[in-house]
Chains A and B, each alone.
Chain A
């Protein structure tokens, strides 16, 4: 009999660190157009291959190919492109404002714009998203949420719609189908399932869309959400944005090594897809597929969006400390804006000139909005919501003890 081996603890490591480049072969990409598109009433177990492969539509020649290529008018594609550009320019301007100390903190979604924006375009009015802090694209894809108002939230100024109570980017917009961002991780994922269950209980037609990052899938709430979504066949899209990094923690530490996050869904009896998150057309097509399943009482769909967090986690983070500084330039799925732009150019629906014109117009629009927002104060100049308002909305009606405490503060 052989001698017993000494046991070893396995601690996953990314293939790249500062000083040596990442080997992205761990992503196991599929060629564009190669992955089948089953009917929406497919059985969850029959999606096992879709949870391992990668749905892609845009090929290396900027053509939309394969069964997932959506029938989208050029006009809709241009709207999507414009919304992604708007989001990127907005993020860049807010990073600048943070460096100018007009806002305390910011989180950009650089490189991930396609996911929130294409899904927003695939949903219907009345649907409700339960986002994390990196889905500002859900709001910026809309024309009915004023940029000034978003900026006032970011600066926690006198007309911040949530009265300075939350960190920047923790927006709340019921009227835009955007649930209040908690700041706690994963809690919203199971709430999205509950919201979808409520719609089903009421015999309504609205569906929910829950959002989570690769890192937070390790929280119990993720697994709980999958169980409840499956048990009650909740009308919900369960989005896992796998941007490879949770602050400095590589996705393998969240459990992505040698498996996929989409695979978790199949194990729970949920139809699941793994999709190129930097491919606007693939995101739109997969979101439509999932939304149609939900609307037809076919239950939840889990979608893992493979993407890359091109920027820092937040303005408090420096990713060059833990990953190669040029990592994003080697990421094999590219830049979602460049890819959709090239596709539009290839089909004769866009040009470099038009792109530049829109970019300039958006920069001007966002610059003007910032000027207007700053008129209502910034965190730096102290024109913030009143201290007295701090005691409101803890309860629907202010109890006696809070009245007394407000008096003690003398406001």
Chain B
């Protein structure tokens, strides 16, 4: 058996294992890749994504950082300027705000303001989204705060196969990449039915992950489920919630998993909406000023004369993410199914 086919041999992985495998592959392939963040060294991260990497690659390439998101990203910008490819972990997306200046004013603009003299090829990983009773400080989905920023790439995988391939592509990319990990999907394809037992990734085809190097290209969406009646634009956890909603409403929805939020794969979106003539946009983040508004505007600009009904949005409410009322906040299958039915009226 050839070396290449060894590398492509698939094995069941959770999203955590797939992310770890991506970092393992890149640490081995490129001496300039380093990994650091809070608790990521000896302990291996609060979600275990970096477990074993320090023992394997040494503590000058995988190490703990002070509790300072601004310092983690700020030092990574300097390391990027030096020529390294830092992969840093912010423990929760909810904690990214102290790093926001370094992300927006520095990492995102360094290439532009120096005409490529200096660049910041960083990958900033952060677990996002709710569904784990994390309350307002462990549940947020701040993707719109990144998609709004010129110079950033924002990526969110929905399954272990894409997570590994997208993380490798992000690490190899020369632009700064915000890599959002829907933590509710770490251990299985959660469809929003929180009262049912979790299906593990080992029971899902996207949980079959090659052991070696491969990439899933950025700026490329996936048609997660082909359908004829209505297009659903979703990413992260909402891909599976939307799938459940389609099954439960018996509406033949085509579910587009955006994967790369910005820059995004507009062609796949436009082709689908032109085919179905209907569109539902779904995200977990708050509604007003959310990325769904941008998606709705793009569909309107490019597909207006193909639309049979108004574009529907299903999102989190415009409140902080509540603790006890989590499932009233979370846009679950029932809310998505209701939007699918509205989109099918008329």
Contacts and interface: CB of A to CB of B under 8 A. Distances in A.
B344 interface: no
Nearest to B151: A394
Interface in A152-207: 161-163, 165-166, 170, 172-174, 179-180, 182, 184, 187, 190-202
Interface in B119-154: 119, 150-151, 153
Contact of B115 (A172, A199, A202, A225): A172
Contacts of A224: 66, 68, 70-71, 74
Interface in B13-45: 31, 34
Contacts of A161: 115
Contact of A190 (B60, B75, B116): B75
Contact of A395 (B61, B102, B114, B175): B175
B101 to A, nearest CB: 6
Interface in A226-245: 227-228, 231
Interface stretch (B46-54, B81-89, B241-249, B271-279): B81-89
Interface in B76-122: 76-79, 81-84, 98, 101-102, 105-106, 110-119
Contacts of B83: 198
Given A190-B70, A191-B74, A224-B71, A393 B112 contact: yes
Contacts of B84: 198, 201-202
A187 B75 contact: no
A338 interface: no
A190 B78 contact: yes
Nearest to B104: A184
A349 interface: no
B79 A228 contact: no
Contact of A198 (B65, B74, B79, B173): B79
A6 interface: no
Contacts of A180: 110, 113-114, 117-118
B326 interface: no
A23 to B, nearest CB: 37
A166 to B, nearest CB: 5
Contacts of A289: none
Contacts of B263: 395, 399-401
A221 B98 CA distance: 10
A202 B83 CA distance: 10
B252 interface: no
Given A198-B83, A227-B66, A187 B74 contact: yes
Contact of A394 (B60, B66, B101, B150): B150
Contact of B98 (A128, A194, A195, A220): A220
Given A228-B68, A395-B151, A396-B111, A193 B75 contact: yes
B259 to A, nearest CB: 15
Indicate the size class of the contact surface on chain A: 35 or more
A201 B115 contact: no
Contacts of A194: 74-79, 81-82
B75 A191 contact: yes
Given A184-B105, A195-B78, A198-B84, A190 B114 contact: no
A182 B308 CA distance: 49
A196 B78 CA distance: 8
Contact of B70 (A165, A174, A221): A221
Contacts of A399: 219, 263
Contact of A197 (B78, B101, B173): B78
A341 to B, nearest CB: 35
Given A184-B101, A395-B175, A396-B174, A197 B75 contact: yes
A220 B106 CA distance: 15
A166 B117 contact: no
A198 B71 contact: no
Contacts of B70: 190, 220-221, 224
Nearest to A208: B78
B222 interface: no
A401 B117 CA distance: 24
B223 interface: no
Contacts of A187: 74, 77, 101-102, 105-106
A393 B81 CA distance: 15
A345 B131 CA distance: 76
B307 interface: no
Interface string A299-323: 0000000000000000000000000
A130 interface: yes
Nearest to B74: A190
Contacts of A393: 111-112, 115-116
Given A182-B113, A193-B78, 13 more contacts: A161-B115, A165-B112, A166-B113, A193-B75, A194-B76, A195-B78, A196-B78, A201-B61, A224-B70, A227-B66, A396-B174, A399-B263, A401-B263
Interface of B: 31, 34, 60-61, 65-66, 68, 70-71, 74-79, 81-84, 98, 101-102, 105-106, 110-119, 150-151, 153, 173-175, 219, 263, 266
Interface of A: 128, 130, 161-163, 165-166, 170, 172-174, 179-180, 182, 184, 187, 190-202, 208, 220-221, 224-225, 227-228, 231, 393-396, 399-401
6 contacts: A128-B82, A165-B115, A198-B78, A224-B74, A393-B112, A395-B153
Nearest 6 Cβ contacts at the A-B interface: A194-B78, A194-B75, A190-B74, A198-B82, A191-B78, A399-B263
